[in-house]
Structure 1
């Protein structure tokens, strides 16, 4: 464009101004974000927040489970952390409520959340949202999730186990169910792996109860069954027998890294002459991460 009568030209704030007061607006290019791009951007941000929420809660409330999850294949690590966060959320209900009714309400929330997940209704709660993603990715079995909730709900009764069998059932319905779900994230469908998961879950349930004895005693509560004298021996036998199970596929190994934690505690409790109140048992093992890493390379449990 030519301007014959303009002797000088200035551009300020998007206006082209000539000496003879001729003003021409110069439009700057603008870029509009498409609605789909906005939606994807928000979804990405929300997804990252949900993932970090699960990482934080597992690291804080289930440090050993957090370490084990880090050794899962990268493709399934996020789903493993989501499942452990789900388990943590349920486990802490009992100690975080003052009335059983409130605990039951929270359990009902999780039952409804699981049902919504399997209706493909995307939830807003961070852990539920991550579970929804894991279910979509790995076709996880709803029965195992609901069984964990139901068993945790029964545990709100706040009663001691009548015998070791009841404690084993609790471990099967909670810890073993979690292991079944972790195996599904790894794509492992194997009867021998399921059998191992059942035994390991029971052993973990027993040792978790034993490890919690000092904390429960400080609250004037006792949950150990009367025949607890059988506990340590039976746990050792269970873990030892599993060590020679060659029929379990190597792909299941990450799900069973928890056995390293169980063996570590058994060794330390022996050194403490089976005194579960010994101060050494209240401290974290500083070399546990290394032990887990080395075990993950051996492909045995």
Structure 2
């Protein structure tokens, strides 16, 4: 496994040296990818920094792609414009897998680096495409009917990232895939809880409709930020599902190299604990601030090689 990882790393570095990317600053394309993750996905940025050199750079590229696709909805309130931006990434991925020369790939720092990563590590196209298509589907529906739909969306958007990172690490292990699936669902559900304020700005409700209806909570009350016992029951039920997936992921025995890939589990755990301390008041402003101890916790768990 480690020999394969070193060989892939050499191939990737060869690609990086042989291609010249045009950027709007003095930063090279890899640094550009890292900066995108730092700006829009800070907790995963901290976790990625602690990965070994062989994994860190390609991991930043995958996470930069995800960050760019994920923030399409935040960049515009026009569904048609958002769909066009997602189509750019769809076309870019098709171009990457159809062409053997980088000159035919869009001259974008992320697409150029993604081209090298996909070819160097032979990443499955279906996983890369899934990151984009799942967001496109949400643009059309704008809500989840059931918790199962939210779990499927989390699988497609977050677990898929872990599948790609496992591919980069050369890990082909059923247990690792199983853990990645559960961790992705836990993180995806937690992201929905954390994004209630953002979703309100776009006048969309991402909390599962079946749970809202069961607890007699209207969409309007969520949009207004009304805190009451019913909405707390909704948040408790959704958070409990996230915690269940997190515990399941941590209970699975995985290859040692996988532990560093799953470090974001620490941030998910901290948020769910903080939400519990707030008595599941998702509108509590303290939840808007990240944990000041997260960097130290990540570093400590990395030393223990645990997630």
Partners of 1:146 and 1:42 in 2: CA distance: 24
Which residues in structure 2 correspond to 1:101-112 (within 5 Å)? 101-112=80-91
* RMSD of aligned residue pairs (Cα, Å): 1.9
Q: SS state of the match for residue 43, structure 1?
A: coil
Looking at secondary structure, tell me which structure has more helix per residue: 2
Partners of 1:234 and 1:125 in 2: CA distance: 38
For residue 218 of structure 1, report the CA deviation from its aligned partner.
4.0
Partners of 2:169 and 2:18 in 1: CA distance: 29
Residue 267 (1) aligns with residue 273 (2): yes
Give the corresponding residue for 1:3. Answer: none
For residue 141 of structure 1, report the CA deviation from its aligned partner.
1.1
Give the corresponding residue for 2:145. Answer: 162
Contact 2:123 2:164 in 1 (8 A): yes
Give the corresponding residue for 1:145. Answer: 128
For residue 44 of structure 1, report the CA deviation from its aligned partner.
7.7
- In structure 1, the gaps of 5 or more residues are 1-39
Contact 2:182 2:248 in 1 (8 A): no
Contact 1:243 1:300 in 2 (8 A): no
Q: Which of 1 and 2 has higher RCO (CA within 8 Å, sep 6+)?
A: 2
Contact 1:176 1:198 in 2 (8 A): yes
Compared with structure 1, are the counterparts of its residues 115 and 45 closer, same or farther at alpha carbon in structure 2 (3 Å cutoff)?
closer
For residue 242 of structure 1, report the CA deviation from its aligned partner.
2.5
Partners of 1:121 and 1:172 in 2: CA distance: 32
Give the corresponding residue for 2:222. Answer: none
Compared with structure 1, are the counterparts of its residues 273 and 76 closer, same or farther at alpha carbon in structure 2 (3 Å cutoff)?
same
2:31 to 41, 49, 52: 52
Contact 2:21 2:112 in 1 (8 A): no
For residue 221 of structure 1, report the CA deviation from its aligned partner.
2.8
Q: How many residues align?
A: 261
- In structure 2, the gaps of 5 or more residues are 1-16, 213-233
For residue 219 of structure 1, report the CA deviation from its aligned partner.
4.2
Give the corresponding residue for 2:250. Answer: 243
Give the corresponding residue for 1:279. Answer: 285
Give the corresponding residue for 2:52. Answer: 73
TM, length-normalised to structure 1: 0.82
Contact 1:110 1:149 in 2 (8 A): yes
Contact 2:179 2:248 in 1 (8 A): no
Moved over 4 A (4+): 44-48
Partners of 2:79 and 2:239 in 1: CA distance: 32
Residue 212 (1) aligns with residue 195 (2): yes
Deviations, residues 103-144 of structure 1 (Å, cap 9, x unaligned): 222122111111111222312111001111111221111110
